[in-house]
A and B are shown apart, each in its own frame.
Chain A
Amino acid sequence: MELLLVFIIGLLYGAGVYMILRRSLVKLIIGLILMGNGANLLIFLLGRIVKGNPPLINSDANILGEIYADPIPQALILTAIVISFGLQSFAIILVKRAYKVVGTDDLDEMNATDEDL
């Protein structure tokens, strides 16, 4: 399970970086999404995956004796997913708007900011 996740994460990061380096705007967004998902899976993986051990303590015990599933990474991922969801939807709208205003999705042709007023 861990090994599979390692490969998936590597694949997601690699594909994300590759997509970001493309000139097309849409591929840029896809690349950012892939990288975000890769980061989320990485948190999940590094939070030590354990099957079927809830983080609960018996009422008579003071500390957790056995290996248990750490709930914090899942809370972190949930937060990160929500944030990245918001950011990505904003970025998609921005790209759509940019395509309308500029009339191209090629990043190399977007250089109006380098002209002087």
Chain B
Amino acid sequence: MAIAILLLFFWKKKNAQKLISVLGNLISVGIAIWLFYIVWENGIYFTQAGDWDAPYGIPIVADTLSAVMVLLTGICGLAVSVFSVGSVRNARVNFGYFPILHFLLMGLNGAFLTGDIFNLYVWFEVIIISSFVLLTIGGEKSQIEGSIKYVTMNLLASSIFLTAIAILYGLTGSLNMADLSLKVAALENRGLVNVTAFLFFVGFGIKSAVFPLYFWLPASYHTPPPAISAIFGGLLTKVGVYALFRIFSLIFIPDEFLLNLICTVAALTIFSGAVGALTQINLRKIFSYLIICHIGFMIAGLGMFTELAITGAIFYMIHDIIVKTNLFMSAGLIFKIKGTYNIKKLGGLYAAYPKLTLLMAIPLFSLVGIPPLSGFWAKIYLIDAGFQLKNYALVGFIILGSFLTLFVIAKVWSEVFWKESEELTAKEWVRYFKDLKPLKQKAIIIPILFLGLVSLYIGFGAEHIITVSSRIAHELLHTEPYIKTILQK
């Protein structure tokens, strides 16, 4: 059944039309909900590809974390494909925009569901190659330059990841994650194990844009069309975070040194992301830096490595995927209305479009974590976990990060929505929002509304999400059932 999710996307390999794309995503959301239900009721669901028993075959595993990630991918994919109908130009659609978008989603689902480390590498490659194409499609100058930086860093990350897999295979002779978990724990050569763990950390760290490795992100994420940067901003970096959680809970149980390292990296990521966001005036660049800042929150949860902290981090990830996708789409809508991303030139949106402003206020304020919106609960958990561990420096950085986010969002709010509007000269190459057909206008607004409702639900139905994320945290820290199910011992 898990494979059904994957195969669904192959079916649109031909030059898919917009309707098929949206329908396909609806179906995949349905299947993802079904998968989540099955996993929630019956525990870990898995299947062996090719009918080879573990540890030789490639297992496809859905535990609660995978199921939740697949569900979130489905929701964001649906929202983005509806948004694309309204906002992506025909020239781009002709170059195969929609099929590639689906390849990207397929890669994401595959990466979340696989239980084999080399297979994870392959899915990562599927993801990056489709994201390369999405990033360069259209071929404007800044797009090409941004993608050169993106492509280089991702290729480098893949090489490091592959190297780490090679060493791990040499050490253990296995690629199955559950099997690795047992074999790595039994290894005597701890020095080499730590080196491998560190290689994995660097490889995934580049992909999820943690502190010293994030410079490619703000250089590339603001260049493609808004629909594409929405799916990138929401999901691509989170795959790296997902892989970090998976690897460091299942295969390498981090020791004191590694935990301290992760905590330090997290604190610096939060700080540099937040300060970076302060200095920018391009709306999408601000959001790009905020992605980095909030990746830091999730890594901090991993670095503290208690059940409470991981609950907070998973909650934050769920909230962040929805909100970041929504933010980049809102930025796209603002661009359609005013024709610029420069917040110095923007202004007066509240006077002109009060209802839309209210809609865009939801993601902005949930990002800050104003209670009872969704960001608030996750931060409470993270800070609480930090206090329990007496890791006050990290708590300080989390609070500082939230405060700077608040400042940035307040700045965006007053510059974009409340300031008196300036007269802007209309640019010919921009297709303005008011000139679009009513259907396309709706296609742009509805996904923002949809994701806004989802994040409102995360905020107000927080106890459901907390139940889910604490179960995930429990599963991540107690891996015996996972290993037992896969190896059938």
Contact = CB atoms under 8 A, between A and B. Distances in A.
B72 interface: no
Secondary structure at the B interface, as helix, strand, loop or mixed, is helix
B142 A20 contact: no
Interface stretch (B38-46, B86-94, B161-169): B161-169
B342 A20 contact: no
Given A113-B146, A116-B342, A97 B139 contact: yes
B219 interface: yes
Contacts of A72: 169, 175
A15 B177 CA distance: 32
Given A87-B125, A113-B222, A116-B282, A42 B152 contact: no
Contacts of B162: 36, 39-40, 43, 80
Given A43-B165, A43-B169, A117-B282, A94 B136 contact: yes
Contacts of B149: 110, 113
A20 B169 contact: no
Interface residues of A, number: 43
A114 interface: yes
Given A35-B159, A72-B175, A117-B282, A102 B152 contact: no
Contact of A32 (B155, B219, B282): B155
B249 interface: no
B14 interface: no
A47 B132 contact: no
B147 A94 contact: yes
B167 A46 contact: yes
> Which of B144, B281, B340, B341 counts the most A-chain CB atoms under 10 A from its CB?
B144
Contacts of B487: none
Contacts of A46: 166-167, 169-170
Interface of A: 16, 20, 25, 28, 32, 35-36, 38-40, 42-43, 45-48, 70, 72-73, 76, 79-80, 83-84, 86-87, 90-91, 94-95, 97-98, 101-102, 107, 110-117
27 contacts: A20-B156, A28-B152, A40-B162, A42-B166, A43-B165, A46-B170, A48-B170, A72-B175, A83-B122, A87-B125, A87-B128, A87-B132, A90-B133, A94-B132, A94-B147, A97-B144, A98-B144, A102-B144, A102-B145, A112-B145, A113-B219, A113-B222, A116-B282, A116-B341, A116-B342, A117-B341, A117-B342
Nearest 6 CB-CB pairings of A with B? A46-B170, A43-B166, A39-B162, A42-B166, A35-B159, A110-B145
